[in-house]
Amino acid sequence: MISPARKIAYEVLRRVEVEGAYASDLLHSELGGRVKPEDAGLATELVMGVLRWRRLLDFLLERQLKKPVARLDLPVALALRIGLYQLRFLERIPARAAVNESVELVKSARKTSAATLVNAVLRRAANDARVPATKFVPQITPLAERLGILHSHPTWMVERWLRRLGEAQTIALLEANNRAPRLSCALHDLNQREEIFTALQNAGLRIEPGNILQSAFAVSGGSPTRTESFHAGAISIQDEASQTVPLLLDTKSGHRVLDLCAAPGGKTPPLARAAGAKGVVIAADRHAHRLRAMREQFKRLGLTQVRLLELDATKPLPFGVLFQRILVDAPCSGTGTLARHPEIRWRLNPGHLAEFHTLQTSLLRSALQQLAPAGRLVYATCSIEPEENEQVVEDALRNTKEFQRDTTNEAARAIKDKLVPGRAPESLFDRDGYFRTTPSALETDGFFATIITKT
C-alpha cells in the first residue's frame, strides 16, 4: 500500500517535470477538502522538500548509483528522491516506511524491474542518513560548487551571487531559499482586524503579525482558503513584499490606473480600492485564461469596477488616454521566489536573464508612453538579478528627459503610515533609492521596485 500523501507527492513531482507546471498550483488543486490535513501536510512537505533539495539528494544518490540520476527513468528518479528526502530530513518517518513505499511507487509506475535497485540504494542510504552531507563533498571542491551542492542550487546561480553579495550574504540567501516561506495574507479592512483574527483563530489557525505592513499577517496550522474570512473576501493570500509594491504608487481617489501585467491579480485590488468609484482601473494581461481567473478572484473580493483587458504590452498600447498611475509588475525569472517556487532554480539558465531583460525593457518603454504628466509609474519584479531590475530601468530611461527615477524619500513617505510600528520606511530602500526586499532579511519574497515620474 502507498499512503495518499506519497501518491499525491509523486504525481505532483511527475507533472512538475513533465508538464513544466508549478508545484504550488498543482498542490492547490490536488489537496481539496477530501484530503486529510495530515496527508496534505506530508504531501506538501515531500513535494517542496524534494524540489528544494533536489541537487543534494541527487548528489547523495549518485554515491550509491555510480551514475547520474538524470539517466534513470523519471519514475525511478522520483521514487529515490522521495525516499531519500524522508530518510535524511524527516525524522518522524520510519526508515522502513520510507524505503518500502518508494519501492511500491516504482511498482505502481510499472517499473517493477527497478524495485530491487530502489530498495538497495535506499537501504544503503539509510545507513548514512544522519551523517552530515559536508562529509561527502571533497574539501578541494570550489566554493560555488560546494555551496551549490550543500545548499542545493545551480552553481552558476551561486557564482553570480558570490560575486555580487559576498559569501556571508550568499549563504544567508541560500539558507532562506531552503526554508518553507511564511504563509502571508492581506487583510483588506483594518477596521475588521480583531473580528477576522478571532474568526481565523477559532478555525484553528495561528496568527503572526506582519514584518512590514499593518495589514499583513502570517498564518500557520491550516489553510486560510478553507475559512469563511477567505470566501467572504475579507483576506487574500499574498506575500508581504508583494502587498507593499502597489502601495508605492500612492493611488488617490479618481485616478486613472493601469495595471499592465496584472495576472495573477494580487496587486490590482489595493489600486482599485484607492482609486474608488470615481477612478478608472484597467488590469491587462496577454493571457485570456489568466484574466478569467482574475475575474473570479475579483468577484470574491467584491471588486466590480476593474476593467479586464487582453493585450500584448510589448506592442504600442491601444489607449486614447493617459494614466496618472501605472504599475508594471513585469514577468521575470522569479529568483526572489525560490523558497516558494523551488522548481524555478532547476529551469533557469543564464541566457534567460538576457531574454527577460529584453522583454522587460520593451514593457517599460510601452508603459512610459501612457504616463500622464506629473504621473507616477512603478516598475517591479520578484527577481533579485540586476539585469532584470536596475539595468532595465537604466536602458528604458536612457536618452529621455521627461521621465525621472525618483531617488528622494517620496516613496518612503507614501507608505510610512501603513508600516508596522518600528519599521522605518527607509529600511526598505537601498542607498540608490530602489525598493528591495530579501528572503533572508524580512522572511518575504525578494522584490525590486522603483518609481518613475513624468514632468
Residues 185, 261, 332, 382: which is the catalytic one? Answer: 382
* pTM for the whole structure: 0.95
What pLDDT does 441 receive? 87
Which grid cell is 209? 503579525
Range 74-98 average pLDDT: 96
Out of 159-163, 204-208, 221-225, 274-278, least confident range: 221-225
| Separation of alpha carbons 36 and 30, rounded Å | 12
Class of domain 183-237: alpha beta
Q: Does the structure show a pLDDT above 90 at 230?
A: yes
Cβ pair 257, 275 in contact under 8 A:
yes
- Judge: domain 4-136, CATH 1.20.1290.10: no
pLDDT digits (tens, 9 = 90+) for 397-406: 998 989 999 8
Q: Is pLDDT of 409 > 80?
A: no
Domain ranges of the chain: 4-136, 137-178, 183-237, 240-454
Comparing 37 with 27, the larger pLDDT belongs to 27
What is the average pLDDT across 173-193?
96
The mean per-residue pLDDT over the stretch 225-245 comes to 95
Nearest to 27 by CA among 39, 38, 43, 14: 43
Mean pLDDT value of segment 423-429: 92
Asked about 382 being catalytic, the answer comes back as yes
Q: Does the pLDDT of residue 411 top 80, yes or no?
A: no
Half-sphere exposure of 154 (CA within 13 A, CB side): 14
**Within this chain, domains 4-136 and 240-454 share the same CATH topology:** no
Q: Residue 66: is its pLDDT beyond 90? A: no
- Residue 330 is predicted with a pLDDT of 97
- pLDDT exceeds cutoff 80 at 271: yes
pLDDT at 241: 97
pLDDT tens-digit series, residues 105-163: 999 999 999 999 999 999 999 999 999 999 999 999 999 999 999 999 999 999 999 99
Which pLDDT value is given to residue 408? 74
**Concatenated DSSP letters of 259-298:** ETT-TT-SSHHHHHHHH-TTSEEEEEES-HHHHHHHHHHH
pLDDT of residue 37: 85
- pLDDT over 90 for what percent of the chain? 90
Non-local (6+) Cβ contacts of 431 within 8 A are none
Q: What is the pLDDT of residue 15?
A: 97
Pairing of the two strands 280-285 and 306-310: parallel
In this predicted structure, the answer to whether residue 309 has a pLDDT above a threshold of 90 is yes
Q: Which fold does the domain 240-454 belong to in CATH?
A: Rossmann fold (3.40.50)
- Please say whether the beta carbons of 269 and 283 come within 8 A: no
Distance CA 76, CA 106 (A): 6
> For 4-16, what is each residue's pLDDT tens digit?
999 999 999 999 9
State mean pLDDT over 405-433: 88
Judge contact between 382 and 339, C-beta under 8 A.
no
